[in-house]
Amino acid sequence: LANPVIITLLTDFGTSDYYVAAMKGVMLSRWSEARLVDITHGIASQNVLSAAYVLLGAYAQFPAGSIHLVVVDPGVGSKRRGIILRSDRYLFVGPDNGVFSLAVPEAVEAFEIQPSAYLAATVSNTFHGRDIFAPVAAALAAGVRPEELGASICDRKQLAPLASVTGSRIKSQIIHIDRFGNAVTGIERHHLHSDQLSPSFVLEAGENAIRVQKRFYAEQPAVFGEPFVIWGSLNFLEISVANGSAAESLKLSLGEDVTLELGRHS
Amino acid sequence: LANPVIITLLTDFGTSDYYVAAMKGVMLSRWSEARLVDITHGIASQNVLSAAYVLLGAYAQFPAGSIHLVVVDPGVGSKRRGIILRSDRYLFVGPDNGVFSLAVPEAVEAFEIQPSAYLAATVSNTFHGRDIFAPVAAALAAGVRPEELGASICDRKQLAPLASVTGSRIKSQIIHIDRFGNAVTGIERHHLHSDQLSPSFVLEAGENAIRVQKRFYAEQPAVFGEPFVIWGSLNFLEISVANGSAAESLKLSLGEDVTLELGRHS
Amino acid sequence: LANPVIITLLTDFGTSDYYVAAMKGVMLSRWSEARLVDITHGIASQNVLSAAYVLLGAYAQFPAGSIHLVVVDPGVGSKRRGIILRSDRYLFVGPDNGVFSLAVPEAVEAFEIQPSAYLAATVSNTFHGRDIFAPVAAALAAGVRPEELGASICDRKQLAPLASVTGSRIKSQIIHIDRFGNAVTGIERHHLHSDQLSPSFVLEAGENAIRVQKRFYAEQPAVFGEPFVIWGSLNFLEISVANGSAAESLKLSLGEDVTLELGRHS
């Protein structure tokens, strides 16, 4: 007996409405053996980039064969496409708005979801998660092939690059703020020559200039309220403050520009 | 081998306390094959009407045989009854305070939960979810019949009607505010002759007079901050604003009165 | 066929990031039969005492053999130990910072987690939940014995006592604030001679002096906004207000001192 297929869910629906449960009910009604695991439903409303980052942090931990269902979908009801992606290990289902850009290489097979008997009998204008994406994920879990649900495409939407490097300067933005108030930038380790920033580095974010780097959050000395940068567990540079919320105390918001000046010896 | 019975949970307990987990532990200890699916635990504290609306949006998506456990229970510890409802497809368990009114037709069989060996050995004054309702749901999942858990009743509590129609005027209230700040009114499609409101309609809510209708959230033109009405996916009329929270920007709260004036040609 | 082992999760990671899902993916990849149940991820950031209280409220409801995984870990990356505890009925996994003090008797067997092939190939400085604790919980669920994962220890960290009794006075603090704004003190029933406080009792908390006791939240008379004390369902004394949030209206925070003066006839 094979293990039941895992379907993960990642949305910006929150957890205080019926939206997520309706999607779960639809999937369990169509394929009762599906095993549902929430990634999160707390993505900042309609923030595709933050969703792409959270998907990147979670998807690769799941067993091969898992189906990742993402519904962060500012364009619901308009002409944007619904897509299925098939990588070596996983299937992905959701709107074609770039939300899969960070997790899924450009080269994987992509399919545009087409009307079919697998979808809800009536598709609403406002809730494709329930009427299109959840039914498609359940069909995939039941063994229906992407080819039966859509048509092959080769132009799925990609996000713009998260960071641009010019000499010793890297420009990026805040792409995610986590529960602890850590502000994640789009600057990745591979943008730099070394994990250790040069002693003269400075990260500018909003009205702040940050010149301290730590290796882990509890590293000493911890100056109360002092901001510092740290490589997060996904290898993006994060802005933190000791014993507090960086986003609050430094007044950082999603989308805010940041500039890392590496100095002479980087 | 039959599929395990699904028990859905809908409460106002939030998810930062031990309350929900205690209920889940009780159910899994008594019937380890139960399959637990959260609808939400984020109902506004003690708001029976909002809970009734969210239940309406979720319950019918689940497979036949599912048990819907609802604990939004301002009267816990007082004399209000605990009940079991049995419809064609589902069982429902929770307090008799009207929370099932929107989802469950008045005619279904109802049972008042009675003391029995199925309940917790000691029933607290403060936590019937753990001590009464979760044990009853687990017993039902294990195949115990409602008749063994309670006595038939025919006077369960109903909510007052959500809207009243007088000529071209419909009075109602805000019954739910969703995660995006959409304010759901108690006005339903069947109250109107047509999906399309007349060109001269006006919806008054608080200090606002709304005169724009959209078919889907991303419909153009999107005037930043402009309020509009839209039929939500449950066919209730919702108040939204483009790219923002209607509840915040229009200062709308749960329970606020709304009046829809349909104008001459509705 | 035995029932799959339940692993409960209790963290302060929130539910809007990838952290919890990464841990779940790790566990399901290593032991696909694990059955994951959230206790909560909403513990106040890095608040070990509140986590200990919530664990106390939930753990004992789960079936024997369950594994309780707790990651509230202000010292991640520093020298604090990771531990496994083995009681008669359960296993516990998490950091050695006192978080198990309320739920687990001092006498149970304890093991310090050691580097082994069961952990992640690379252990980050920032995310031991994913790289150490989740892999250990999955290994335990798969039947690996604590002895294979760590070395026996007898000096695990304990929290300081929650309350101190001097004559008719009990000093304690606010150890948890629940979703409804009830402020839970560290005063337990066993500190008192009787469930019913004496008529002349007074509980001082911040700038408030509370002199009313209720048996259940809806007990009459309910004076709007009146503060009262009540024994919560874990037998700790809680501060509540009728139809409102005690924490908000009385300006109570986690860690705030409280003093119960029992008066002459207690």
B184-194: pLDDT as tens digits: 999 999 998 88
- Residue C264 has a pLDDT of 62
Query: What would the DSSP string read from start to end of A164-211?
Result: EEETTEEEEEEEEE-TT--EEEEEEGGGSS-SSPPTT-EEEETTEEE-
| CB–CB contact B21 C38 (8 Å) | yes
Q: Is the confidence at residue C222, as pLDDT, over 90?
A: no
pLDDT in tens, A170-180: 999 999 999 98
- Residue C266 has a pLDDT of 42
Residue C254 contacts B where some CB pair is shorter than 8 Å: no
Q: Is the confidence at residue C265, as pLDDT, over 60?
A: no
How many contacts does A have with C, using Cβ atoms within 8 A?
97
CB C85 within 8 Å of CB C92: yes
Short-list B171, C41, C164, CA closest to A40? C41
Give the pLDDT band (50/70/90) at residue C1: very low
Residue B75 contacts C where some CB pair is shorter than 8 Å: yes
Give the pLDDT band (50/70/90) at residue B99: very high
The tokens describing A223, both together, are: 């100056």
Phi, psi of C5 (to 5 degrees): -70, 140
Collect contacts of A105-108 with beta carbons under 8 A, ≥24 apart.
A106/A158
| CB–CB contact C74 A218 (8 Å) | yes
Phi, psi of B92 (to 5 degrees): -130, 140
- What's the whole-model pTM score? 0.94
Residue A178 contacts C where some CB pair is shorter than 8 Å: yes
Q: Which helix (H) or strand (E) holds B23?
A: helix B19-30
- Residue B193 has a pLDDT of 82
- Residue A193 has a pLDDT of 82
- Residue A264 has a pLDDT of 62
CB A260 within 8 Å of CB A237: yes
CA distances from A176 to C11, C133, C142 (A): 20, 25, 35
Q: Report the greatest alpha carbon distance in chain B.
A: 63
CB C97 within 8 Å of CB C73: yes
Measured over the CA atoms of residue B194, residue B196, residue B200 and residue B206, the dihedral's sign is positive
Short-list C180, C185, C156, CA closest to C170? C185
Residue A125: list chain B partners with CB under 8 A: 215-216
Short-list B140, B153, B146, CA closest to B65? B140
Instruction: Please name the chains neighbouring A, where neighbouring means 3+ C-beta pairs under 8 angstroms.
Output: B, C
Nearest CA in chain C to A220: C78
- Computed over every residue of chain C, the mean pLDDT equals 93
Give the pLDDT band (50/70/90) at residue C236: very high
- Residue B2 has a pLDDT of 59
Short-list A36, B31, B139, CA closest to C63? B31
| CB–CB contact A21 B179 (8 Å) | no
SS3 C51: helix
Residue B28: list chain C partners with CB under 8 A: 6, 37, 62-63
For A133, which DSSP code? I
- Computed over every residue of chain B, the mean pLDDT equals 93
Nearest CA in chain B to C38: B21
Q: Is the confidence at residue C219, as pLDDT, over 90?
A: no
- Residue C40 has a pLDDT of 98
pLDDT in tens, C170-216: 999 999 999 989 999 999 999 988 888 888 999 999 999 999 999 88
**How big, in percent rounded to 5, are the helix, strand and coil portions of chain C?**
20, 30, 50
| CB–CB contact A24 B233 (8 Å) | no
Which residues of chain A are under the pLDDT cut of 70?
1-2, 264-266
Residue B76 contacts C where some CB pair is shorter than 8 Å: yes
Measured over the CA atoms of residue C46, residue C52, residue C58 and residue C63, the dihedral's sign is positive
Q: Is the confidence at residue B164, as pLDDT, over 60?
A: yes
**Burial state string for A130-157 with b = 16 or more CB within 10 A and e = fewer than 16:** bbbbbbbbbbbbeeeebeebbeeeeebe
Residue C37 contacts A where some CB pair is shorter than 8 Å: no
pLDDT in tens, C92-128: 999 999 999 999 988 899 999 999 999 999 998 789 9
For C129, which DSSP code? I
- Residue A266 has a pLDDT of 42
SS3 C115: coil
pLDDT in tens, B18-76: 999 999 999 999 999 999 999 999 999 899 999 999 999 999 999 999 999 999 998 88
Region of C216 please: left (phi>0), alpha (psi -120 to 50) or beta: beta
Measure the CA–CA gap between B24 and B27, rounded to whole angstroms. Answer: 5
| CB–CB contact A18 B58 (8 Å) | yes
Å between A154 CA and nearest CA of chain C: 29
Give the pLDDT band (50/70/90) at residue C220: confident
Residue C147 contacts B where some CB pair is shorter than 8 Å: no
Residue B8: list chain A partners with CB under 8 A: 21, 25
Q: Is the confidence at residue C41, as pLDDT, over 50?
A: yes
| CB–CB contact C126 A233 (8 Å) | yes
Measure the CA–CA gap between B59 and B118, rounded to whole angstroms. Answer: 25
CA distances from B47 to B51, B52, B73, B75, C243 (A): 6, 9, 9, 12, 11
- Residue B264 has a pLDDT of 61
Which of B8, B176, B232 is opposite residue A21, by nearest beta carbon? B8
